[in-house]
């Protein structure tokens, strides 16, 4: 019986896999450009690229594993509970002074030996797993706002509040956005989706306006050059990078903004390096690749006859895509500045490994014989 299932198992979706590796290779190339000259000062110009390559190797191994584990494994109650409870515990730990590591006024990191990671990265995928499990088999009750929608959003809302304490509105908001997208895909009514949208906008605006530094950041997004000496400096330098790049860019490694002008060119604002080195055409290519990645992933989800597999794949792809388009929107100045990395591009080996492992789950959905998964 086992041999029969193995023989019938389909290959992975090659389009999705190719797009992911293309984005990863472009990300490594851009990271090299963003960090090479800064690395010369420390004596190892390839330091960040080596860390990212290590994350990619670990992520490749994790993806190979998750690609072979039947996606129905993630539906088990003990797996879901372990993921949710574990991520919640980590979110609580990171909020404790002396345990959570603080950088630039934000306590978002935990350290284990020489490894640091953001528990929020794990919480995002735990929320997707929980939502896929809870929405499976709730086609009718999801039509009710109080009995269907609110109960499934309770745990993500708690994660949202815990992550806000870091503070990290971008990651917290991404979780809520993706969970709402999954509720919509599960068959919720449009009027309920509109209500959730209004509630989310009100909460987001209140939070952004409740502290002076957040108000300044929001206002700086509207006119960054007017506040170039303060909150608008990073966005102003990012826009200068895009202007310098023009249509075809200045060439790999030839951009100037990474020379201590643009803060964090290797992480949150790495898309500006794409714009300066490769120009408008390079940016358009990256946007196209992310859009194609999203389309290929959603195609995998829609082709899955199992509702859980469909929701799980759609949630993972939505999470990666929402994060990518928010990051790019921030860097080009059409969204308020947030600290959200660009998937496959921004420096962060742990985050990259987790993302690749999640893509492996989607690849397993694409290869599974759903007649045996039901």
Q: Phi/psi at 145 (nearest 5 deg)? A: -75, -45
Q: Is 4 inside any structural domain?
A: no
How many Å apart are CA 288 and CA 292, to the nearest integer?
A: 6
Residue 227: predicted pLDDT: 73
Residue 64 lies in a domain: yes
What pLDDT, on a 0 to 100 scale, did the predictor assign at position 314?
96
Please report whether residue 5 resides in a domain: no
User: What pLDDT is stored for residue 9 in this prediction?
Assistant: 63
* CA dist., res. 252 & res. 32, Å (int): 9
- Distance CA(370)–CA(374), nearest Å, equals 6
The verdict on residue 100 lying in a domain is: yes
3-class DSSP state of 363: helix
> What are the structure tokens assigned to 86, written together?
């574990």
> In the structure, what pLDDT confidence band is assigned to residue 119 with cuts at 50, 70 and 90?
confident
Instruction: Please determine, for residue 5, whether its predicted confidence score (pLDDT) is greater than 60.
Output: no
Please name which of 237, 228, 246, 284 lies closest in space to residue 264, comparing C-alpha atoms. 237
Report if residue 215 sits inside a domain.
yes
The candidate with the shortest Cα–Cα distance to 233, out of 217, 249, 245, is 217
Per the domain annotation, does 156 fall within a domain?
A: yes
Per the domain annotation, does 322 fall within a domain?
A: yes
Domain count, the chain: 1
Q: Evaluate if residue 94 carries a pLDDT over 90.
A: no
* Count of CB atoms situated within 10 Å of the CB of 53: 15
Residues 293-309 as b or e (16 or more Cβ within 10 Å = b):
bbebbbbbbeebebbbb
pLDDT band at 310 (very low <50, low <70, confident <90, very high): very high
Separation of CA 129 from chain center: 15
pLDDT at residue number 19: 97
For residues 113-122, average pLDDT: 78
List the beta strands (DSSP E) in 115-259.
Answer: 115-117
Mean pLDDT of 179-183: 92
Q: How far apart are CA 122 and CA 146, in angstroms?
A: 28
Residue 153: domain span? 10-373
Query: What is the arithmetic mean of pLDDT over 106-120?
Result: 74
Task: Please give the Cα distance from 35 to 136 (Å, whole number).
Answer: 44
* Cα separation values, 281 from 246, 269, 287, 344, Å: 9, 18, 10, 19
- pLDDT (0 to 100) of residue 105: 62
3 assigned to some structural domain: no
Taking all residues of the chain, what is their mean pLDDT, rounded to a whole number?
86
First vs last Cα of the chain: how many Å apart? 16
Instruction: Read off the pLDDT of residues 21-67 as tens digits, 9 standing for 90 and up.
Output: 999 999 999 999 998 887 777 777 888 899 999 999 999 999 999 99
For the chain, percent of residues with pLDDT exceeding 70? 92
């Amino acid at each position: 019986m086992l041999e029969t299932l193995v023989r019938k198992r389909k290959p992975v979706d090659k389009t999705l896999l190719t797009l992911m590796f293309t984005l990863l290779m472009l990300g490594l190339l851009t990271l090299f450009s963003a960090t090479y000259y800064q690395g010369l000062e420390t004596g190892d110009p390839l330091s960040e690229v080596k860390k990212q390559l290590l994350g990619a190797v670990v992520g490749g191994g994790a993806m190979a594993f998750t690609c072979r584990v039947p996606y129905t494994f993630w539906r088990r109650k003990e797996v879901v509970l372990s993921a949710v409870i574990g991520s919640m515990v980590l979110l609580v730990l990171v909020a404790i002074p002396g345990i959570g590591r603080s950088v630039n006024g934000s306590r978002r990191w935990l350290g284990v030996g020489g490894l640091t990671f953001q528990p929020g990265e794990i919480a995002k995928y735990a929320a997707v797993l929980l939502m896929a499990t809870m929405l499976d088999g709730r086609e009718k009750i999801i039509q009710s706002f109080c009995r269907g929608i609110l109960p499934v959003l309770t745990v993500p809302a708690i994660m949202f509040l815990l992550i806000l304490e870091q503070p990290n509105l971008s990651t917290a908001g991404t979780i809520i956005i993706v969970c709402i997208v999954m509720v919509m895909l599960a068959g919720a009514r449009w009027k309920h989706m509109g209500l959730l949208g209004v509630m989310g906008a009100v909460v987001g605006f209140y939070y952004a306006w409740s502290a002076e530094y957040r108000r300044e950041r929001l206002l700086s997004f509207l006119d960054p050059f007017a506040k170039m000496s303060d909150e608008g400096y990073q966005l102003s330098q990012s826009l200068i990078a895009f202007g310098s790049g023009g249509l075809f860019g200045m060439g790999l490694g030839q951009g100037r903004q990474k020379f201590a002008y643009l803060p964090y060119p290797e992480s949150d604002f790495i898309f500006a390096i794409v714009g300066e080195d490769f120009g408008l055409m390079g940016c358009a290519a990256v946007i196209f690749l992310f859009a194609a990645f999203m389309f290929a992933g959603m195609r995998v989800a829609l082709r899955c006859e199992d509702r859980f597999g469909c929701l799980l794949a759609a949630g993972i792809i939505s999470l990666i895509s929402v994060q990518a388009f928010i990051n790019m929107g921030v860097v080009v100045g059409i969204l308020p500045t947030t600290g959200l990395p660009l998937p496959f591009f921004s420096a962060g080996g742990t985050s990259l490994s987790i993302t690749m492992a999640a893509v492996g789950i989607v690849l397993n959905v694409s290869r599974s014989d759903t007649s045996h998964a039901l």
